[in-house]
Chains A and B, each alone.
Chain A
Amino acid sequence: MSEETRQAGTARSVARTEATVRVLYGIHALEVDVAGRTVAEIRHALTQPLNISPRAVPVVDGAVVAEGHLLQAGQQLEFVRLAGEKGRPQ
């Protein structure tokens, strides 16, 4: 994990409340104030700090959603990290 990612994981995350959205990518788990934003907006904001693959599928509370899906407070958004293969960079 890069220093930039570490900083994003601490500086941008907030304490878990009913108003936050839990965002997962691989080993990363953040509580962020992004309710009302779309998946695409969140992906754009976190792609660089978390190194999210453009191929990572967005899943909200267990269901695959579109990039235009609006996040609600209390939901969990996961960008599903690609499965490990053979030492290839993702």
Chain B
Amino acid sequence: MLEIKVVGLGGIGCALLPPLARYLHYAGIDCRLTLVDGDAFEQRNLPRQAFRAAGNKARVKAEEVAQEFPGLSVRAIGEFVTPGNVADLIRSGDVVFLGVDNHRTRKVVSDHCERLADALLISGGNEWTDGNVQVYCRREGRDLSAPLTRFHPEIAVPGDGSPADASCDYAVAAGAPQLLFMNLAVASAMLNAFYAWQQGGIRYGEVYLDILAGRSQPVERRGFSE
């Protein structure tokens, strides 16, 4: 059974989850979907995040998915990913969709995946009208593409806060809002990467997106084990 973890249910996660769940359900993929987020939905999330009830994001979304797709195995973990719990949350063989807004969590997850035998980590992030998706694929203890940190010093040595003290909402409050369409574009690129992986070959390790330019640019990130 394929274990799929969606970490972060903010703008990107909320855009990614409905088509992912629909695809998994109707494709009949033997899987379990785990939603991970320690944050709570609030009314101020509504411009970019659809939810039917207030409460912990992972639990609210898990309930929604379970109602819409009763045959799909889904569970919620209402926690932020930290160095202390990442080993319990992400295990060898997992597919991880990482839609967080901070480099600190990206580093925690990427570093952990480097210690696993098999993992597919698809991480998306965005600014206002541009963004990127990184794909870290590890198989039988070897890197098939680069970890998130290898060419990104801002992730390797994160200068931002943890999700417990800095979320998308914090950015909105600080005057750095995000655009729903950009979240959607990144989510779509993450799902495209998953499908490419599922089909047996993904030829890029990172893809850049710019919705104003109407362009995307895939870049190969050759994997190698050190």
Binding site for B on A (CB under 8 A): 1, 24, 26-29, 55, 57, 59, 62, 64, 78, 80-90
Contact = CB atoms under 8 A, between A and B. Distances in A.
A80 B151 contact: yes
Contacts of A80: 151-152
A57 B151 contact: yes
B154 A55 contact: yes
Say what secondary structure dominates the interface of chain A. Answer: loop
B148 interface: yes
A28 B217 contact: yes
Contacts of B178: 86-87
B115 interface: no
Contacts of A24: 217, 219
Contacts of B141: none
Contacts of B155: 83
Contacts of A86: 101-102, 125, 127, 168, 170-171, 176, 178
Contacts of A55: 153-154
Contacts of B212: 1
Contact of B130 (A27, A59, A64): A27
B195 interface: no
A83 B210 contact: no
Contacts of B168: 86
Interface string B124-166: 1111101110100000000000001001111100001000000
Interface centre among B101, B127, B160, B222 (most CB of A within 10 A): B127
A87 B160 contact: no
A27 B189 CA distance: 14
Contacts of A1: 210, 212-213
4 nearest A-B pairs in the assembled complex, by CB-CB distance: A84-B125, A87-B176, A84-B131, A86-B171
A78 B146 CA distance: 15
18 contacts: A1-B210, A24-B219, A27-B209, A55-B154, A62-B221, A80-B152, A83-B134, A83-B154, A84-B124, A84-B125, A84-B131, A84-B132, A85-B101, A85-B125, A85-B154, A86-B125, A86-B176, A88-B171
Contacts of B125: 83-86
Interface in B94-108: 101-103, 106
A5 to B, nearest CB: 9
Given A57-B151, A86-B168, A27 B215 contact: yes
A27 B216 contact: yes
A85 B123 CA distance: 11
Contact of B153 (A57, A84, A90): A57
